[in-house]
Chain A
Amino acid sequence: MLSFLQGFWVILKHTFRKRETVLYPEEKIYLPPRFRGRIILSRDPDGAERCVACHLCSSVCPVDCIALQAAEDETGRRYPEFFRINFSRCILCGFCEEACPTAAIQLTPDFEMAEYLRENLVYEKEDLLISGPGKYPGYNFYKVAGLAVGGKDKGDGENEETPVDVHGLLP
């Protein structure tokens, strides 16, 4: 019986405690930069699309919500013809970001994506692509890939040496 009364007292004291609830729309909590929210496609520092349409993200995605079509421009640079993420299925697991070799696909600290129509949750490339490099400011995949591609020959990249001419006699 006494313990009941103690219990009531403890509960009553909670009347004047600080509330735990964050009154959301008026008050917002800080989301760390690595928060896994809305997905974007970033560009490299030169302003070109980073995505090389390697399909790694779409194959790692546990709910198969990424669809893309690979294409190649005249300089040999690969890019996605379309890139579609269905956010009504995406579980924001971040696997795509981990799999991406070019740091193109990134998750951002934004979760306010509610829509009245389900179709509006399907984001196309225009919706996903941003104008900056996102979380990896200096990174340019083609500059470190060692590949000859539009405007950049082998050996022109960062930390690259000109290729050895294996047919020549000179050391």
Chain B
Amino acid sequence: MILKHVLIVIGVLGGAMSASAGLVWLERRLLAVWQDRYGPNRVGPFGLLQVAADGIKMFFKEDWVPPFADKPVFILAPVLAMVTALLSFAVLPFAPGIVVADLNIGLLYFLAVVALGVFGIALGGWSSNNKYALIGAVRGVAQMLSYEVFMGLSLMGVVLIAGTFNLSEIVMAQKHMWNVVPQFPGFVLFTIAGFAETHRTPFDLPEAESELVAGYHTEYSGMKFGLFFVGEYLGVTMTSAMIVILFFGGWMGPFFPPIVWFLGKTFVFICFFILVRAALPRPRYDQLMGYAWKVLLPLSLLNLLVTGAFVVGGYI
């Protein structure tokens, strides 16, 4: 029993890390495909060993802490960014029984841990003592805070339907119909919030390399920068997995074993993340904030209200 648990932990950790490493390659390859290029195709078969090459490069780059930075916080920030991204993998149910911690408040735990992710950005930008990093961090904090509000609210519809915060039970509750059908607005809202939470294009304003050098990680190099990067890809994987669990029936599906279904659906959403990066430009900062508070928040409240009415009326 304990052995099984340890194996699951190791498997999830290893899977998450290798997925985020593979994403480095996948993203570059897919972006290239959609921009009529080839992308990395030299190192190993299909350029797959590019990941290893990148890793080696990261490790051997000079690990530079600028003299004007706040040293302890500067070193801590990338660790935070990655650890918070990893923590949320603990509650993801990959298949029946394959979950690190089957918490009965799994969804709340997920929201809480995702909210912690802002510290990596905020502290990284602040301790860098660089104005671009600081602007990036401020944007990051404001963006994450405002998108978190309706991220939580957009999921409450799912909770209302399933009647539980436990992620495995939420998946089980979608036996007859995937949540994406009755909760379509919730799905759209959560996806948008997920993009903002992982600060991916079009919500990559904390990074905004065209205006802010590299935003909050301007001063980072070597493996510290790598940690931020891995954290971002972990976030993408985690958000995709979350979309699948909450709206697309998790591991459910005919013919194939559950884990295959889960990974396949997650992969589709990861590709969607990359497609969005290839397709959409970055909005202006005030547009981003106004959009969150004036459009998305009222919409998620409305969605919650309507869902609540249906549930109370006994239609769902």
From the candidates B35, B38, B276, name the one contacting A23 in the complex (CB within 8 A): B38
- B34 touches which one: A4, A12, A18 (CB < 8 A)? A12
Q: Which of A60-114 contact B (CB under 8 A)?
A: none
Q: Is B309 among interface residues, defined by CB-CB distance under 8 A?
A: no
Expressed in whole angstroms, the Cα–Cα distance for A99 and B36 within the complex equals 42
Give chain A nearest CB distance to B179 CB in angstroms. Answer: 21
User: Which residues of A are found within 8 Å of B34, using beta-carbon distances?
Assistant: 11-12, 14-15
Q: Kindly provide the distance from the CB of B42 to the nearest chain A CB, expressed in whole angstroms.
A: 9
Q: Is B280 an interface residue (CB 8 A)?
A: yes
Partner of B37, one of A7, A11, A21: A21
| Chain A, Cβ-Cβ closest to B188 | A1
How far apart sit A19 and B33, CA to CA, in the bound complex (Å)?
A: 8
A28 beta carbon closer than 8 Å to chain B = no
Q: Please name all residues of chain B whose beta carbon is closer than 8 Å to the beta carbon of A15 when the two chains form the complex.
A: 33-34
User: Using an 8 Å CB-CB cutoff, how does the interface string of B260-278 with A read, 1 for contact, 0 for none?
Assistant: 0000000000000001101
The answer to whether A19 and B279 touch across the interface, beta carbons within 8 angstroms, is no
Q: Mark B23-60, 1 if CB is under 8 A from A, else 0.
A: 00000000001111110000000000000000000000
27 CB < 8 A contacts A-B:
A4-B279, A4-B280, A8-B275, A8-B276, A8-B279, A10-B279, A11-B34, A11-B275, A11-B278, A11-B279, A12-B34, A12-B275, A14-B33, A14-B34, A14-B35, A15-B33, A15-B34, A17-B36, A18-B36, A19-B36, A19-B37, A19-B38, A20-B37, A21-B36, A21-B37, A21-B38, A23-B38
- Residues on A lying within 8 angstroms of B by beta carbon are 4, 7-8, 10-12, 14-15, 17-21, 23
